[in-house]
Structures are given as C-alpha cells and as structure tokens.
Amino acid sequence: MKKLKEILISKPNGLLNIYCTAGYPNLNDLPTIVNSLHEAGADMIEIGMPYSDPIADGPTIQESNGVALGNGISIEKIFEQLELCKPKIPKILMGYINPVMQFGLEKFCSRCEETGIDGLILPDLPIEIYESKYKALFEKHRLSNIFLITPQTALERIQKIDNLSSTFIYAVSSASTTGKGNGLAAANDYLEGLKSLPIDHPILVGFNISKPEDLALVHKHANGGIIGSAFIKYLKDKPEVGQASKDFVDYITNSAPVS
Amino acid sequence: MSLKIDEQGFYGEFGGAYIPEMLYPNVEELKESYLKIIHSDEFQKEFQALLKDYVGRPTPLYLAERLSEHYSAEIWLKREDLCHTGAHKVNNTIGQILLAERLGKKRIIAETGAGQHGVATATACALKGLECIVYMGEKDIARQAPNVSRMRMLGAEVRPAMSGSRTLKDATNEAIRDWINNPTDTHYIIGSVVGPHPYPDLVARLQAVISEEIKAQLDGNPTHIMACVGGGSNAIGAFYHFLDDEDVELIGLEAAGHGINTDKSAATMALGTPGVLHASMTLVMQTLDGQVTEPHSVSAGLDYPGVGPWHAHLHKEGRVRYESVTDQEALDAVLLLSRKEGIIPALETAHAFAHLEKMDLKPTDRIVINLSGRGDKDLSTYIEFLDV
Ligand SMILES: Cc1ncc(COP(=O)(O)O)c(C=O)c1O
C-alpha cells in the first residue's frame, strides 16, 4: 500500500482514480489501459475483477464483466497482466468476494503483493467479517482494504470505518448501483458535508461522475474522484484502447472551473 | 455442532450477510427489529387472523389412500396447495407485509421464479395497498405466463430480468440492485430461505407453521417428511419442528434437470461447493474460478444455482438427506398424482413425489409429503411435455 499512501500525501487534492474492467474490451488490454491512464494523469487505477453476478453494479459494468468473462479473463490472468503494468502506478483491485475465495485467500494476497497491488475494494465483504477473518492477512501482505460509505451511513459507523482504514475512504455519491448516470445535483448537500466529517483519512468520491463538471465539483469537496462506468462506456467500440484511455483522461480533467 | 442459527447469523460455516455497505442500513434495521416485531402480541394477533381467514389455515393433512395403496405405505399430504394463491409462499408474504408495514415501508419489491412468490407478494400488497414491483427472469415470464397475468391483475408491476440465464438467480440480482437504489422507503420480500441474514431465519420462522400444524394433525411422528428444495422455504417449513426428532427421516428433493452428470442441472447439494451467492455463504454451483454457473430445471421455482444456508448446514451435518429428481421423473409424478388422487401439483412439488419411486418402502412407513403448490401455473409445460 506504500505507493497509494505516498500519492495521498503528496497530492492531497484533485486526485483522479479511474476504474477499468480487466479483460475488457479485449482479453489482454489491461496493461495498455493502466499504463496509458497513468501517463495521461490518472493518479491511481482501480482494476475490476469480473464476476458473473455483480450485485452492486449497474448495466454498464455488468456488461463489461460479461464481455470480459466471455473473453476468458480469470484472476490468474489478471495477475499475469499486472506484471506488465508499470510497477510505480498505485493500483487497487476491485471485485466480489466469491471469486477471491475460490482462488484461495492466502494465494490471492501473496499474488497481490507480488504484483504491486496496494489496496482492495471488495464491496460484498462487510466490515464485521473483514475484522474477524481477513484483516490480519491483508495487513501481513500490506494490502489496504478500502471501505465504502454512503449518504445513509451513520456517523458512528463512519468513525468505525475510519479507524479500520489505512489509505482512503470511498464515499459513494448516492446509495445506488454503479453507473446510474443521475449526475451529482442531488448529492450536493452530501458532498458539502464531507469536509466536516470528523475523520482522519482522505475521501475519494465515486458513482455518478461522468462529466468534467462532475469531477471538478467532487474535487472541490473531497480529496479525489473515482470514475468507472463513464470510462467503460467511453471505451466501447474504440479501436485503440491506449489512445482512448488518454483521450478520456484529457476530456474528464479538462474542465472549466465550476462556480 | 448445533443445527440452529448463531448470533452472527451463521449456521455452522454457512449464512451471514455478505452485503455491500449500501444495503447495511436496511439489513441492519431488519436484523434489529424482526424478532421483536414478529414476537409481539399485536403482530401475532393480526398475523394469525390473516392466516386463518385469508390464507385458509390450517391446511389439511390428508391421507392419500390410493397413492398409499400404490406404494404400499401410508402417505399423508400436507395441503399447502390449498392456501390462498395456491402455494406455501403466501405464509411468508403475509408475515413480511405486516413486518414492512411496521417498519414504515411504502414500496415492496420481490423476485420470483415460478411466479408463485410474485403472486403471493402482489396479493399481500393489494391487501395492504402498497406499491409492488416483482422482478422475474425473461425466460420465466414466458414459461409461467398465467402467474404474470395474475400479478398484473393484482396491481403489481412485473419487470423482466434480462441478464445471465434470465431466471430466478438473475431476478434476485435485480431485486437486490433495486433495494440498493431505493435505500429508505423499500422493503424487499425475499421468497425463500436465501439471501443475507436475517432473511433465512425470518422466512423459516414464517414457514414453520407448516410443521407446527403437521405435529398437531398427526397422531405421533411420521417416519419420513419429504419436500422439494429450490431455495428451501417449503422444506424448512415442513422440517422445522421435527429437526430435533431423530426418529423422523427428513428428505429434501432437488431438481436434477437432465441429470446430475449433465451440464443441465440445478442440484446444488450434489454439484455445489461453498461460496457466496446473494449475500449468503452457502453451497453454490460455480466454476473453479468462482463464476456462478447457469442452472437448468424444467421447473422455474427450482431453477436456482444456490440453496438456503440452513440447508447447506443440515446437509453437512447429515440431519437432512438431499436427493435429486430429473425433469422427466418429476413430469411422470405429476400425472401419477393427478390420476391417483385428483390433485394436479406444481412442477416443483412433483419433485418430492417422484422420489417415492426410488424408495424402498415398507407398509409401516408413514410418510408426510409437503404438497407445496398446485399446478395450474404449469399447464403450458404439461401440455408441451405430457401427452394430454
Ligand atoms: C409450489 C412451489 N414449491 C416449491 C418452490 C420452491 O421454493 P422453496 O424451495 O423456497 O420452497 C416454489 C418456488 O417457486 C413453488 O412455487
């Protein structure tokens, strides 16, 4: 988690985290996409491990998961592809707990450490089970478990999550599945309140960020933004994924200042 | 090891609540309040009155004489098919609608496979004047058409689940996603003993009335109780009050589809391995990579690649024996029961009857079969596959 911690310290504001689905659009695109996104200015990359039943995801990411699985992606292949990504890029693996369990938890954590993974986002691994069964192992392999909070998360629980966190907290802009595309208008009050939360760790906001204005708004109220579905949609049918990745970062960061 | 649920919502290694944080407030609210509410006098008074006057409970325990003669054993049928709406599913939806009301929820969502749970949910919502949205796999919408029309007549909106195998698993995914997207006003009425804790326990308690009545209706214990298992709610309901009675052999029947040695099966106990599905640790039909496989059963209500976590535990502990029955064996059993007893069962239910063919029965055996539902909804399948 060292690279992730360093970037959070050296760049306390305006962070950009982009999500891509491993194996999408083509089986072996991951290294090109990760390296190109970083070169163009993404500070960290979240890499989705495809799953047949992604219950927290909307249609866009569901579809990318389906395409990637059809292409033949697997966790083992993702680790092989990670060896081809530039080592200095902060990288987070995101995925559902079942494929990780079947891969074998010990082996998964070792392979993460070997391939330069800094953190994990496992949306269906709840805090209580994390604490009792996973925490020690993740810490041994220097993997930061990144927790989600929502507008409905009670303050007491946010503080508990803050205590368990080691890098950043992932605040979802509205309690929803990914890629709802509702925009951030309804989340304005929530975003404004983030800075005053009595917590120690930086906050990155995700869900519903699809335009430069959205990202700029998030940057005003939090340490960074996370973009997923908008990038996956953008990648669809692009002939050259490296160029498309760069173009997307240019597009999303090139915003007129919001008032 | 105990056969029952522990404080954390686990049955041995199975169960729990593997939910994303977005669902935490809803699931926590339910977990903190379900026992208090369902044990309250006020809830029980309304629930018992509705079970009696609206659902039609107690359902009869009927001695099937011609079937008994055919198999040379004493066979009793627990007539859940005579419940209002035609299956046991309504025991659960009536209980949960009263719970939802007390939690102040205004919008009800459900998943359905065979459509029986969807109909039972739509019925409960009509009874209470609550908005109702039912997710149903596109494939099931086609094969259980009468139930789709019934739900619509009752005022429910039926939304097709278009992903994956377009059956029960995918309908459940869509219902969970809906709940994530509607975090405050919505209650999810799950249709079986599946999903995150406390659902398996809640649904089991609401279905336990089946075995409570069997105990009161039969003079002494049966030798066997048999029920079909999709998620496992009618089976748990029929087994519940007999779990500690070791003299009673409990048998759950799963759908083998074309056979457990083919790639077209839904026999989770035979083919599944431990994993997380629909926010519960249970047995799951999956690839070595942990991707859930698409099941097959001619019966939409059993066409599910998982099973309730309590069943996974009862299987592991050996308290309940799980066997499987093929599509064809179930279809044959439909005709036999129709002609011997004048009862056309649901396809799901027929799986329990089909097992009689494989048992080494003795005249002293006293078997209770949970007749979980009637077959009207399956007529188009029966017309297609049976020479009628
Ligand atoms: C009549 C009937 N029996 C059984 C089932 C299977 O569900 P469970 O295993 O939860 O009883 C269904 C499900 O749709 C059903 O309609």
Question: A257 pLDDT exceeds 60?
Answer: no
Whether B11-50+89-203 shares its CATH topology with B56-86+208-385 is answered yes
- Please say whether the dihedral angle defined by the alpha carbons of residues B251, B253, B254 and B259, taken in this order, is positive or negative: positive
B301 touches ligand 1 (CB under 6 Å): yes
What is d(CA B195, CA A160) in angstroms, rounded to the nearest whole number? Answer: 25
Q: What is the pLDDT confidence band of residue B135, given thresholds at 50, 70 and 90?
A: very high
Q: Do B276 and A55 touch (CB under 8 A)?
A: no
Every domain of chain B and the residues it spans: 11-50+89-203, 56-86+208-385
Residue A258: what pLDDT? Answer: 44
Residues B332-344 have a mean pLDDT of 98
Q: Which atom of ligand 1 lies nearest, measured to the CA of B86?
A: 1
Residue A228: what pLDDT? Answer: 96
Determine the distance from the C-alpha atom of residue A80 to the mean position of all C-alpha atoms in its chain, rounded to a whole number.
Answer: 20
Residue A169: what pLDDT? Answer: 98
- Residue in B322, B320, B344 with CA at minimum distance from that of residue B272: B322
**Burial classification of residue B158, based on how many CB atoms lie within 10 Å of its CB (0-12 exposed, 13-18 middle, 19 or more buried):** buried
Residue A181: what pLDDT? Answer: 76
For B210-223, letters b (16+ CB in 10 Å) and e give bbebbeeeeeeebb
Residue B252: what pLDDT? Answer: 98
pLDDT digits (tens, 9 = 90+) for B224-278: 999 999 999 999 999 999 999 999 999 999 999 999 999 999 999 999 999 999 9
Closest C-alpha residue for ligand 1 atom 4: B348
pLDDT digits (tens, 9 = 90+) for B303-337: 999 999 999 999 999 999 999 999 999 999 999 99
HEC-encoded secondary structure of chain B: CCCCCCCCCEECCEECCCCCHHHHHHHHHHHHHHHHHHHCHHHHHHHHHHHHHHHCCCCCEEECHHHHHHHCCEEEEECHHHCHHHECHHHHHHHHHHHHHHCCCCEEEEEECCCHHHHHHHHHHHHHCCEEEEEEEHHHHHHCHHHHHHHHHCCCEEEEECCCCCCHHHHHHHHHHHHHHCCCCEEECCCCCCCCCCHHHHHHHHHCHHHHHHHHHCCCCCCEEEEECCCCHHHHHHHHHHCCCCCCEEEEEEEEECCCCCCCCCCHHHHCEEEEECCEEEEECECCCCCECCCCCCCHHHCCCCCCHHHHHHHHCCCEEEEEEEHHHHHHHHHHHHHHHCCCECHHHHHHHHHHHHCCCCCCCEEEEECCEECHHHHHHHHHHCCC
Question: B158 pLDDT exceeds 70?
Answer: yes
| Closest-approach residue (CA) in chain A for B15 | A129
What is d(CA B231, CA B298) in angstroms, rounded to the nearest whole number? Answer: 16
Count the Cβ atoms, other than its own, within 10 Å of residue B316. Answer: 16
Question: A256 pLDDT exceeds 50?
Answer: no
Number of C-alpha atoms within 13 angstroms, CB side, residue A65?
27
* Contact residues, chain B, for A101 at CB < 8 Å: 274-276, 290
- Ligand 1, residues B121, B172, B192: which to mutate, most atoms within 8 A of Cβ? B192
B281 - beta bridge partners?
A: B15, B276
B257 touches ligand 1 (CB under 6 Å): no
CA of B170 to the centre of ligand 1 (A): 17
Share of chain A above pLDDT 70, in %: 98
Q: Are B74 and B97 in contact (CB under 8 A)?
A: no
Q: Do B288 and A102 touch (CB under 8 A)?
A: yes
Pick among 3.50.50.60, 3.40.50.2300, 3.40.50.1980, 3.40.50.1100: CATH of B56-86+208-385 = 3.40.50.1100
Retrieve residue B72's tokens. Answer: 């040379």
Closest C-alpha residue for ligand 1 atom 7: B230
Closest C-alpha residue for ligand 1 atom 10: B233
Mark whether B372 is an active-site residue: yes
Residue A259: what pLDDT? Answer: 38
Residues A177-203 have a mean pLDDT of 91
Count the Cβ atoms, other than its own, within 10 Å of residue B244. Answer: 9
Which of these is catalytic: A6, A29, A43, A46? A46
Q: Which atom of ligand 1 lies nearest, measured to the CA of B232?
A: 9
pLDDT digits (tens, 9 = 90+) for B185-214: 999 999 999 999 999 999 999 999 999 999
Question: A252 pLDDT exceeds 50?
Answer: yes
* Contact residues, chain B, for A129 at CB < 8 Å: 16, 18
- Residue in B358, B360, B305 with CA at minimum distance from that of residue B333: B358
Nearest to B17 among A55, A126, A147 (CB): A126
Mark whether B111 is an active-site residue: yes
- Residue in B371, B370, B375, B353 with CA at minimum distance from that of residue B68: B353
Retrieve residue A15's tokens. Answer: 């962070």
Retrieve residue B351's tokens. Answer: 């799986």
3-state secondary structure of A9: helix
Residue A186: what pLDDT? Answer: 84
Q: Which atom of ligand 1 lies nearest, measured to the CA of B300?
A: 14
A48 - beta bridge partners?
A: A21, A94
Q: ipTM of this model?
A: 0.95
By a Cβ cutoff of 8 Å, what residues of chain B touch chain A? 8, 16-22, 24-25, 163-164, 169, 173, 176-177, 180-181, 183-184, 273-279, 284, 286, 288-292
Q: Do A124 and B24 touch (CB under 8 A)?
A: no
- B11-50+89-203 belongs to which CATH class? alpha beta
Residue A227: what pLDDT? Answer: 97
Residues B75-84 have a mean pLDDT of 98
Q: Do A98 and B176 touch (CB under 8 A)?
A: no
- A2-251 belongs to which CATH class? alpha beta
Q: Do B279 and A124 touch (CB under 8 A)?
A: yes
pLDDT digits (tens, 9 = 90+) for A43-98: 999 999 999 999 999 999 999 999 999 999 999 999 999 999 999 999 999 999 99
Q: Do A53 and B169 touch (CB under 8 A)?
A: yes
Q: Are B112 and B175 in contact (CB under 8 A)?
A: no
Residues B279-298 have a mean pLDDT of 97
Residue A255: what pLDDT? Answer: 53
Nearest to A150 among B21, B279, B288 (CB): B21
Mean pLDDT across chain A: 95
Nearest to B181 among A102, A157, A177 (CB): A177
Share of chain B above pLDDT 70, in %: 100
Mean pLDDT across chain B: 97
B62 - beta bridge partners?
A: B77
